[in-house]
Amino acid sequence: MATATTELLRERVQGDVITPGDEGYDEARAVYNAMIDRRPRVVVRCRSADDVIAAVNFARENDLDLAVRGGSHSVPGFGTCDDGVVIDLSGMRGVRVDPAGSTARAEGGATWGDFNDATHAHGLATTGGIISTTGVGGLTLGGGIGYLSRGFGLSCDNLVSAEVVTADGRLVAASENENEDLFWAIRGGGGNFGVVTSLEFQLHPVKDIYGGPMFFELKDAATVLRLFREFIKDAPEQFGGFPAWQIAPPLPFIPEDRHGDTFLAFVTCWTGPLEEGEAIMKPLRDIAPVAAEHVGPMPYPALNSAFDGLVPPGLQHYWKANFVTELTDEAIAAHLEHGPNVPVVNSTMHLYPINGACHRVAPDATAFAYRDATFATVIAGMWPDPSETEANIGWVRDYYEATAPHSEAGGYVNFMAGDDQGRIEANYKGNYARLVDVKRKFDPDNLFHVNQNIRP
Ligand SMILES: Cc1cc2nc3c(=O)[nH]c(=O)nc-3n(C[C@H](O)[C@H](O)[C@H](O)COP(=O)(O)OP(=O)(O)OC[C@H]3O[C@@H](n4cnc5c(N)ncnc54)[C@H](O)[C@@H]3O)c2cc1C
């Protein structure tokens, strides 16, 4: 590709166009997962949908690989590529709230921190992830599991409409009334169908919540996991939360002599009346002595950013995931065998409940197919020191192998590693064939293939 073509791109877009040798190239090519070290031919820091159109056309016309990046959290590093084009949406983070209509529209590069700060000012929220730096776009397009999903459904269930730049460089609307097939596919099908430049969400009255983490001793972990399995079946839907293996970080609410010890943590979030929170948590708190806790009333965005410090950019990441329909005693035994061996403070396993409002959406109503799953497991290796790579990847793989026989064939696309491309069809079960049809219609040449790819 001639330099002249890149120069043409510079003329066509408002945002920065960064190529090898430019100042800031190394910063522009870096993604969140430090294991990913790729050298794109050009990074386009888009400022508008027009910039996105220009970058999509440029990649297609020059037959280059195209990666799309919002919050940059993709563990397989789908937000970058070697020798191709990166569309970086981090300059498009605006969020506009319509309090009267209880909706909010976010630009394609907004993070959940941006979103929650804007909606919280109006006492409103929607289902998002548990970390504030994750992108609204990537998380929602894959489904979106979080504290509020039992009450309000997945993030994608709250998507009202979106604007999408398709592979042929058109900006189209997607909703229940326009391009319904595209709207169906982007609610779970990931970044396969185009670049989403804005997303409009339904909001719900959520301002302050009652919640936070409780730490239980390992000797009580079996009892806590079994109680969680039963409790979460019919706990009020304003309760969200999940168990997690956690090496105690040096935080003030944890006794100093326990820093570095491993616990089964239980992270909780109650969005009902604050004064009811303590009673709702009682069955959990009473099951075993709580070694440390930081549970109480707090603004929803405070819980959403409470664990950001455990997952700063620049860690190495390797994750595996599964859906679980029935959390059997055998499955719990596998968790108990591997979970306590978690190698470093950042690594963990989360077991997210999928029920309540998530189950009230039919499996074929959106691309997210596993509406009959009751849990989504993610075994997340996250470590700062490259010398710990073997230990962490080994832990993730051993843990995954032990739990896989007690899980479904598919997993949540957003929690999967780059080596899980062979499981795409299983992730979408009965919806896969329809996803392929929509892909053929909107991206027949697979321009958007740097993702958990649905092949046309
Ligand atoms: C620390 C951490 C915490 C997480 N917590 C949760 C959680 O609580 N719940 C949950 O469900 N998931 C969670 N995830 C997983 C998360 O949903 C995925 O990693 C998701 O892909 C991140 O989106 P992003 O925009 O930040 O990432 P990016 O790397 O920017 O994007 C990932 C991929 O999504 C697609 N994409 C992103 N934005 C757009 C867009 N605007 N248009 C088209 N395609 C786009 C592209 O294919 C891109 O390659 C977490 C991940 C991390 C690393």
Angle at 18 between CA 15 and CA 23, to 5 degrees: 115
Residue nearest to atom 1 of ligand 1 (CA): 311
C-beta neighbour count of 407 within 10 angstroms: 22
HEC profile for the chain?
CCHHHHHHHHHHCCCCEECCCCCCHHHHHCCCCCCCCCCCCEEEECCCHHHHHHHHHHHHHCCCCEEEECCCCCCCCCCCCCCCEEEECCCCCCEEEECCCCEEEEECCCEHHHHHHHHHCCCEECCCCCCCCCEHHHHHHHCCCCCCHHHHCCHHHHEEEEEEECCCCCEEEEECCCCHHHHHHHCCCHHHCCEEEEEEEECEECCEEEEEEEEECHHHHHHHHHHHHHHHHHCCCCEEEEEEEEECCCCCCCCHHHCCCEEEEEEEEECCCHHHHHHHHHHHHHCCCEEEECCEEEEHHHHHHCCHHHCCCCCEEEEEEEEECCCCHHHHHHHHHHHHHCCCCCCEEEEEECCHHHHHCCCCCCCCCCCCCCEEEEEEEEECCHHHHHHHHHHHHHHHHHHHHHCCCCCCHHHCCHHHHHHHHHHHHHHHHHHHHHHHHHCCCCCCCCCCCCCC
Q: What span, in angstroms and rounded, lies between the C-alpha atoms of 381 and 347?
A: 5
Backbone region of residue 319 per phi and psi (left: phi > 0; alpha: psi in -120 to 50; beta: other values): beta
Tell whether pTM > 0.85.
yes
> Which residue out of 69, 114, 195, 416 has the highest number of ligand 1 atoms within 8 Å of its CB and is therefore the one to mutate?
69
- Mean pLDDT to the nearest integer, 281-306: 96
Split at pLDDT 50, 70, 90, the class of 11 is very high
How high is the mean pLDDT of the chain?
97
Determine the distance separating the centroid of ligand 1 and the alpha carbon of 320, expressed in angstroms: 15
Of the pLDDT bands very low, low, confident and very high (cuts 50, 70, 90), residue 3 is low
Cα separation, 105 vs 202, whole angstroms: 9
Q: How far apart are CA 128 and CA 240, in angstroms?
A: 12
Q: Which residues contact 217 (CB under 8 A, 6 or more apart)?
A: 263, 264, 288, 289, 291
Closest CA to 305 of 420, 390, 378, 209: 209
**Helix axis angle, 277-286 to 221-234, nearest 10°:** 140
- Looking at residue 5, its pLDDT comes to 85
Give percent of the chain above pLDDT 70.
99
The CA-CA-CA angle for residues 50, 54, 60, to 5°, reads: 140
Residue 2 has pLDDT above 70, yes or no: no
For the segment 369-397, what is each residue's pLDDT rounded down to a tens digit?
999 999 999 999 999 999 999 999 999 99
pLDDT tens for 57-89 read: 999 999 999 999 999 999 999 999 999 999 999
Residues with CB under 6 A from ligand 1: 68-75, 78-79, 89, 108, 129-131, 134-135, 137-139, 141-142, 144-146, 190-191, 195-196, 311, 414, 451
Nearest CA to ligand 1 atom 7: 129
257 C-alpha vs ligand 1 centroid, how far in Å?
36
CA distance 375 to 233: 11
Per-residue pLDDT of 304-348, as tens digits, reads: 999 999 999 999 999 999 999 999 999 999 999 999 999 999 999
The yes-or-no verdict on residue 246 having pLDDT over 70 is yes
Best residue among 66, 69, 73 to mutate for probing ligand 1, ranked by most atoms within 8 Å of CB: 73
Contact 389, 343 (CB under 8 A): no
Q: What is the pLDDT of residues 249-283, one digit of tens each?
A: 999 999 999 999 999 999 999 999 999 999 999 99
Please give the Cα distance from 182 to 195 (Å, whole number).
12
Burial class (CB in 10 A: 0-12, 13-18, 19+), 384: middle
Site to substitute for ligand 1 among 43, 46, 68, most atoms within 8 A of C-beta? 68
